[in-house]
Structure 1
């Protein structure tokens, strides 16, 4: 058990005594609609290291009071290295975990250690592609971030320090994305704030762009469409979009979805057109981070289907969904299931309830041996609500509901 000197230093710099910090944190909790649960004992446990990872609400309050991520206050998730190694082994990816010498070394951290961390991160990205967000993925990603930050003091150079910060941001963004996918939106928002801070500290524009992309999607799920558009523009402004047209294409596509959700027809179609033009000129062989492997012609078709369906062009949305499914690589099973649901919505919005129900049923076959992530369940719920609205008296609507309502809601 080690004392938390970072928190102690932050209190001194901010002019807080222990009792004053307790009061400030409880006021922040109450302002956020929660009970004031911080006591003198709580802070004492944090300072002594007896409690190394506060509850989410308390971390949010700490970040609001001190104006920095919880990681910067000396807090780390429990069971860092052990949790990641155990998790990767349980998912048959032990080969990608860090070597014993890396996690146990007391020497300097160099490029080989960074490469091991990167391999671990890529294993988690591959798992997300297949299964989607879930609690084990979040915990493993947070453990990876904690390991990266714990190695900072032993980095062999400033360049290695920055790479560790960038990896910590990437791991944190992976945890946040897992929460976006399962619709733990408040938790995701706090983690994305931490990831953005770390990416900027690392001067890692590719990871910063990743965070803005996730923030745009988070805002969409919260129906905060103006903020989704702002996040899309922020993604466009990152330096990586000037170097790589593929990143720029994704940023414009995400902005197009934001405009479409707000009903802004011309800006949505203009942004989508720019995204298509940029992708056609992007270098398909450039070396890029693994997290963006999902983006290419298939994903742009899928995003284009969302834009067109939102704007009332259901036939064009159906055609775009078919193109997305035809181009989608096999490993992106979760994305295929989402695109299939979007196809069903486009068919339903053209009045073909029977075909739409048959298409939507394919989603359960695609995800047969894995739980449905919350984002997917929510989208299927949207389909069912539209089905009841547009075809309330159709026998196929009742049959689909009877067959799949319990099936999708309990997965």
Structure 2
């Protein structure tokens, strides 16, 4: 294994755990605490993509001092405390220099100087300025081996870490730092350099940003933009890595990215593309012996098989996912996989098999969240549990029961995640319509239409179209005509 070509200043000791921050989390799981951080950010107009992994890195001491956006959020969450009270090191001690003020930082950033140092680039800027100017990372080498410097600097740098940026429902591709440079090299026919820790970090952040944007806006506007980072990820794998630990992160990140891109294809109705991406992720998992990635790939394959009208394949894939997931120790993961199996049994019209799988899903869910839960499962809470159960009862034709669970899903969904709120409400509208309650169905349908300015999902459009067909005989009923007229005025998607 070749050594790194970058000489790094290694720390004298491993990171010291941040026990103060851990105490503040209390009894909440890392995923639950991350959700609280995101809510606090929205309260003050910040945008952070905090997840369970970020919380874990803070508590492990890998992030000695948060970036300025996170600092504002944490101080808002815990008024009266300083960063030191929260267990962080002073910014000046982490940087090896005094903390820069906005006056110091803005001129260098605004003129786009390629000579800004790795240490200072992107440090004192709010996210909005990074997205406004859309700067690319320069070719200046950064120290990618020091865990103190790298993790902290990468968390600060939107140039390096953000795969996508958004304005309302419009999503545009942004440079990925090392991934962007690798993509340029591949496009020009030049050999891609060997990957380092910075590339692995950028890849992992790309996966997070895609998932977050899908939660907010749906898949249709994201899919084609997301395929370029995936090609780059596999180009980096082909080029090799400087260290085995980096290679492991790259394989895991590439597999997770393939699943994320596959889901975007799946949710936008491109089932063949989705099947290919999921198979690619499964192959990556098998090559590297990664049971977590294998369980995730089979989980999505089960969902796709159900949607594609292959329920028996859905059952087999869900059962394979459960076999891979058992050693991981995550009850929440086993709960989701049992729901995937239940969806397959419902498609086979096997009510007993479906009810048994649903009972297991509820039992596993009742055990609560844990540190063993995979990072990608941050979406899976009470709302998703209710929503997936609603889909099972809908498939079995039990419309009242389906509507009851769909209503619970919509009521418990965080309104910030617009796509899921629209999905659960569309499910509710369809269940009400098919259950003979046209007025209530039309009201729910109108609420979905109000959300479509922020959401681009072929799945939701298809569900609404089905609801409109069911409601057509009731077009003279109160409220139904308004829904049908607004639905008819929607632009037709290709």
- Whether TM-score is above 0.5 comes out as yes
* Aligned residue in 1 for 2:366: 280
Q: 1:153-172 counterparts in 2 under 5 A?
A: 153-172=239-258
Distance 2:164 2:263 in 1: 22
* Aligned residue in 2 for 1:402: 485
Question: What TM-score results when the alignment is normalised by the length of structure 2?
Answer: 0.59
Distance change (3 Å), C-alpha of 1:297 and 1:101: closer
Indicate which of 276, 287, 290 corresponds to 1:201. Answer: 287
Distance 1:108 1:150 in 2: 10
Q: What displacement does 1:87 show?
A: 8.9
Q: What secondary structure sits across from 1:407 in the alignment?
A: coil
Query: In the alignment, is residue 316 of structure 1 matched against residue 391 of structure 2?
Result: no
CA-to-aligned-CA distance 1:291-323 (integer Å, 9 cap, x gap)? 321111110011111122333332222221222
* Aligned residue in 1 for 2:231: 146
Structure 2: gaps (5+ residues): 1-136, 139-158, 186-191
- The number of equivalent residue pairs is 326
Query: In the alignment, is residue 326 of structure 1 matched against residue 411 of structure 2?
Result: yes
Query: In the alignment, is residue 91 of structure 1 matched against residue 174 of structure 2?
Result: no
Q: What secondary structure sits across from 1:239 in the alignment?
A: helix
Query: In the alignment, is residue 121 of structure 1 matched against residue 207 of structure 2?
Result: yes
Q: 1:5-84 counterparts in 2 under 5 A?
A: none
Could you tell me whether the CA contact under 8 Å between 2:472 and 2:484 is conserved in 1? no
Could you tell me whether the CA contact under 8 Å between 1:142 and 1:171 is conserved in 2? no
Distance 1:95 1:357 in 2: 36
Q: What displacement does 1:394 show?
A: 4.9
Distance change (3 Å), C-alpha of 1:394 and 1:409: farther
Distance 1:233 1:160 in 2: 31
Query: In the alignment, is residue 247 of structure 1 matched against residue 333 of structure 2?
Result: yes
Q: 1:186-265 counterparts in 2 under 5 A?
A: 186-239=272-325, 242-265=328-351
Distance change (3 Å), C-alpha of 1:367 and 1:315: same
Question: What TM-score results when the alignment is normalised by the length of structure 1?
Answer: 0.70
Distance 1:406 1:101 in 2: 41
Distance 2:341 2:327 in 1: 14
Q: What displacement does 1:133 show?
A: 1.0
Distance change (3 Å), C-alpha of 1:361 and 1:220: same
Distance change (3 Å), C-alpha of 1:240 and 1:167: farther
Distance change (3 Å), C-alpha of 1:108 and 1:179: closer
Distance change (3 Å), C-alpha of 1:261 and 1:111: same
Distance change (3 Å), C-alpha of 1:142 and 1:410: closer
Query: In the alignment, is residue 356 of structure 1 matched against residue 431 of structure 2?
Result: no
Aligned-CA RMSD value: 3.2
Distance change (3 Å), C-alpha of 1:362 and 1:277: same
Distance change (3 Å), C-alpha of 1:374 and 1:95: closer
CA-to-aligned-CA distance 1:113-154 (integer Å, 9 cap, x gap)? 32222112211111111111125x334433223333223334
Query: In the alignment, is residue 341 of structure 1 matched against residue 416 of structure 2?
Result: no
Q: What displacement does 1:271 show?
A: 0.3
Q: Per residue, is there more helix in 1 or in 2?
A: 1
Indicate which of 459, 466, 484 corresponds to 1:375. Answer: 459
